[in-house]
């Protein structure tokens, strides 16, 4: 029977024992930074492949710098802790890994300085988030994406997810699968937990980091796969809301959402109102890559189980 483990207070413990105090600074003020990493189960290899471990921890380091969180771990320590937790947990299914660096002092008072920092990792089974086969029906959110001048979106800060949660719940309660947020200038920014792309005349276009996006690792993966495998370059530039309405295809990317086609926005079908051909091709390539089935990209996949099938 698989049992989830966590790295917590410098030890590996069963997840059920990893508890913080209600007074913890990060819990009260959103002063933590985190990553969402997928572990993808490969039945043939009887292996969990963690996808782009290196890039996720590199982004976590940047988030820590922005939030003044001390992060005294070497890459090797981080990779080893992460794969050990997965191996000890023993799951034979898709997983989500949550490394989180946080202001751990049990003290009240809003600030970033003169506080202790700590770091934890936990693992959870995690299937599909949106439906990548059917695609997502989306709405333009009435909530704007937070600006770099308010809370920097390039850092994956827990507190910033109040913005995403407001948008996601509004969308879901109004009958949509996902919200697409605009930035304060009115340009398209991103989904509540996904980056967004449009396909127009066989070109791929996506908003730049200056549109207050989280610079997604799936985004970079898909840009690379489109270039290397399909010979299609991606242009990063401002995207208007109405461009989404008239696009040939539209899709979202994220660790949770994978590559999910957007088939409808604000009650308007995008393209033919079903997953488009380029999105479908990219998505097939992507799913093979993340499960360790494409030897060319195996360097993006870290195996966790030491006893692999011969
Ligand atoms: C707000 C937001 N944008 C974009 C993404 C996609 O980023 P990534 O592909 O690194 O998961 C995420 C998911 O982590 C997110 O939370």
Residue with tokens 């996949």: 301
CA–CA distance, 283 with 273 (Å, rounded to integer): 17
What would the mean pLDDT of 230-248 be, rounded to a whole number?
98
pLDDT at 48 exceeding the cut of 60: yes
Count the Cβ atoms, other than its own, within 10 Å of residue 84: 16
Question: In the chain, where does DSSP find H-type helix?
Answer: 25-29, 53-66, 75-89, 161-173, 217-230, 241-246, 277-290
> Is 274 a catalytic site residue?
no
State pLDDT tens for residues 151-192.
999 999 999 999 999 999 999 999 999 999 999 999 999 999
Which among 257, 258, 261 has a CA at the least distance from the CA of 247? 261
Radius of gyration of the chain (CA): 20
Q: Which band of pLDDT confidence, cut at 50, 70 and 90, is reported for residue 310?
A: very low
Among the listed residues 54, 134, 156, 168, the single catalytic one is: 156
Query: In this structure, which residue's CA is closest to atom 2 in ligand 1?
Result: 193
State pLDDT tens for residues 107-116.
999 999 999 9
Which among 181, 182, 199, 183 has a CA at the least distance from the CA of 191? 181
| Ligand 1 contacts CB of residue 219 (under 6 A) | yes
Which among 174, 171, 177, 173 has a CA at the least distance from the CA of 143? 171
> Ligand 1 centroid to 256 CA: how many Å?
8
Q: Cα–Cα–Cα angle for 106, 36, 79, nearest 5°?
A: 90
Ligand 1 atom closest to residue 213's alpha carbon, by position in its atom list: 3
Residue with tokens 């751990």: 104
State pLDDT tens for residues 252-300.
999 999 999 999 999 999 999 999 999 999 999 999 999 999 999 999 9
User: b/e for 233-248, b at 16 or more Cβ within 10 A?
Assistant: ebebeebeeeebeebb
| Ligand 1 contacts CB of residue 302 (under 6 A) | no
What would the mean pLDDT of 133-146 be, rounded to a whole number?
97
Q: Can you say whether residue 200 is alpha, beta or left, with left for phi > 0 and alpha for psi between -120 and 50 degrees?
A: beta
* Whole-structure pTM value: 0.97
């Amino acid at each position: 029977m698989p049992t989830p483990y966590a790295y917590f207070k410098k030890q590996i413990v069963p997840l059920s024992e990893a508890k913080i105090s209600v007074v913890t600074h990060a819990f009260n003020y959103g002063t933590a930074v985190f990553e969402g990493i997928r572990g993808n189960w490969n039945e043939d290899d009887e292996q969990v492949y963690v996808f782009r471990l290196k890039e996720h921890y590199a982004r976590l380091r940047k988030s820590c710098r922005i939030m003044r969180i001390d992060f005294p771990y070497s890459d090797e320590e981080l990779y080893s802790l992460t794969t050990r937790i997965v191996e000890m947990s023993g799951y034979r299914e898709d997983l989500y890994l949550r490394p989180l660096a946080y202001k751990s002092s049990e003290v009240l008072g809003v600030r970033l300085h003169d506080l202790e920092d700590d770091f934890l990792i936990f693992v959870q089974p995690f299937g599909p988030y949106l439906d990548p086969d059917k695609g997502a029906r989306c709405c333009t959110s009435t909530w704007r994406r937070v600006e770099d001048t308010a809370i920097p979106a390039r850092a994956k800060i827990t507190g910033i997810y109040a913005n995403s949660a407001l948008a996601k719940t509004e969308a879901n309660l109004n009958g949509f699968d996902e919200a697409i947020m605009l930035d304060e200038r009115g340009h398209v920014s991103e989904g509540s937990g996904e980056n967004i792309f449009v396909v127009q005349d066989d070109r791929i276009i996506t908003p730049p980091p200056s549109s207050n996006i989280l610079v997604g690792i799936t985004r970079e993966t898909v840009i690379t796969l489109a270039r290397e495998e399909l010979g299609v370059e991606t242009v990063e530039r401002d995207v208007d809301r109405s461009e989404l309405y008239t696009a040939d295809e539209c899709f979202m990317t994220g660790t949770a959402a994978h590559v999910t086609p957007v088939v409808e926005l604000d009650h308007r079908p995008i393209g033919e109102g079903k997953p488009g051909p380029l999105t479908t091709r990219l998505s097939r390539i992507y799913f093979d890559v993340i499960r360790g089935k494409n030897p060319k990209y195996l360097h993006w996949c870290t195996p966790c189980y030491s006893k692999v099938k011969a």
